[in-house]
Structure 1
Amino acid sequence: MIEQFASAKPLSTAKPALPKLYLLTNDDEFELLMAKLEVALATGAIKLLQIRRKKVLALLDGAAQLYREAQQIVALANKYQVAVVINDDIELARKLGVGVHLGQTDGSIAEAKRQLGTEQIIGRTCHDSVELVKEAQAQGASYAAMGAVFSSNTKPNAKTVSRTQLLAGCKQAIDICVIGGLSVENIHQLRGLPISYIALVGDIMELSVDNIASRCQQWQQALSGWNESD
């Protein structure tokens, strides 16, 4: 994958807006999770936050526990004026007054728009498929997520998206989110592409609380030169 993206160039002479950092929660113990989120959001680097707590949902009272956790996470995000989406759960998103990110089998965009309204962010997983990106755009999604760009600890067996597929996705009339194995060290390989969101889990959430602020600052510096030629 490294060689595929190393020569990526802007698709037009017009400089695209800088991508926004999109942070996904992990399965840390809740108190630790909140400490990490407090530090990350306080830097101002994070513009969108997804609540995804797979291990909590697997518990006997997982849905109730997730709701309690999500209330606190949303309150924290509101403090720093960061938009929030819930992973896969339209009903929970409605209860919390936030957006939703939907996998291909986790509900329809039309139903999400009906329950959440047009003002909320609605994302759709599109893997490496430009056709799914087109469907998401036609159905009114806010963004289409393409990946994995690189293999990652979160999804080590995920199919990676090719350079050609990603370029084609970026040409569609919908915001594109890239996800999968992205880091400060490899993001330069996508520099210049008109992507809207860079989704991160491990590159921030696997760090200790003490190291998160500096990592977010590294991300801000990396993205500040997004439209610059090498």
Structure 2
Amino acid sequence: MRRLPDLTLMLVTDAAMMARRGVVETSLAAVAGGVTVVQLRDKTASDESLTALARALRESLAPLGVPLIVNDRVNVAIAAEAEGLHIGQEDGSPAEARARIGTEMILGLSVTGPADVATVDPAVVDYVGLGPVIASATKADAAPPLGLDGTRAIGATLGLPWVAIGGIDVGNAAAIIATGASGLAVVSAIAAADDPRAAAAELRAAIQEGRVA
């Protein structure tokens, strides 16, 4: 039986934004501030280089009890022995991904609107990434933003834990977590921050505020 990690605050990496410190160093600083899951995302790196980075990141995160999820790259997730894989609607069927990664690895699936809900099979998928909630500059091909009401409405139909993603920052985190999300997934709010640890800590505080509101 797969055990779902704490989804409270997921950092989605961006190599360009993290170039100053490096992906591993930025991720570790963010974990020190309260990030609970790291998702490694890089659409342009080779499988070989991304596998090397994934292994280094996993080795650094494992002693801290923070799981590594690899975005899209099934081969990389398997080779690096990551704790999870996250796929989008365009990355093949969840059933095919599950067949490749086996029964133990966590599988996340992106949902961008009501039409995607039918692709969520709780027997196959462990959690959903729902969004974009708000228009985001970090993904040029993102679907139209759902807004708070749309996020809340779709989230209520999923039947699985879900994290909200897209345009999230410390100013709107409390309102977004209050839509019913299990957690928030962020890119630039941490990856581009001058102080990733402080940025993560501020987001955790905002999440707590939204949960008790």
Q: Same fold (TM over 0.5)?
A: yes
Q: Residue 24 of structure 1 aligns with which residue?
A: 12
Q: Counterparts in 2 of 1:53-92, with a 5 A limit? A: 53-55=42-44, 57=45, 62-92=46-76
Partner of 1:119: 104
The more displaced of 29-38 and 181-190 is 29-38
Query: Identity rate of aligned residues, in percent?
Result: 24
Hey, what's the Cα distance between the residues in 1 that align with 2:187 and 2:178? 22
Equivalent of residue 108 in structure 1, options 93, 104, 109: 93
Q: Is the contact between residue 101 and residue 123 of structure 1 (CA under 8 Å) also seen in structure 2?
A: yes
SS of 1:76's equivalent?
helix
Gaps of 5+ in 2: 1-5
CA distance in 2, matches of 1:66, 1:170: 32
- SS where residue 103 of structure 2 aligns? coil
Whether the 8 Å CA contact 2:134–2:168 is kept in 1: the answer is yes
CA distance in 1, matches of 2:7, 2:54: 25
Alignment of 1:46 onto 2:44: no
Aligned partners of 1:128 and 1:162 also within 8 Å: no
| Structural RMSD (CA) | 2.2
Give the AA of the match of 1:103. G
Counterparts of 2:65 and 2:175, CA distance in 1 = 30
Distance change (3 Å), C-alpha of 1:167 and 1:224 = closer
Aligned residue runs from structure 1 range 1-230, under 5 A: 20-28=8-16, 29=19, 32-43=22-33, 45-55=34-44, 57=45, 62-98=46-82, 99-129=84-114, 131-138=115-122, 140-156=124-140, 158=142, 159-171=144-156, 172-208=158-194, 211-229=195-213
Q: Aligned partners of 1:89, 1:30: CA distance in 2, in Å?
A: 24
| Cα distance between partner residues in 2 of 1:30 and 1:79 | 24
> SS of 1:75's equivalent?
helix
Question: What secondary structure sits across from 1:226 in the alignment?
Answer: helix
Moved more, 137-146 or 96-105: 137-146
One-letter amino acid of the counterpart of residue 101, structure 1: H
Q: Report the alpha carbon displacement of residue 128 of structure 1 after superposing the two structures with TM.
A: 2.0
**What is the TM-score with the length of structure 2 in the denominator?**
0.85
Larger Rg over CA atoms: 1
**What is the deviation of 1:85?**
1.1
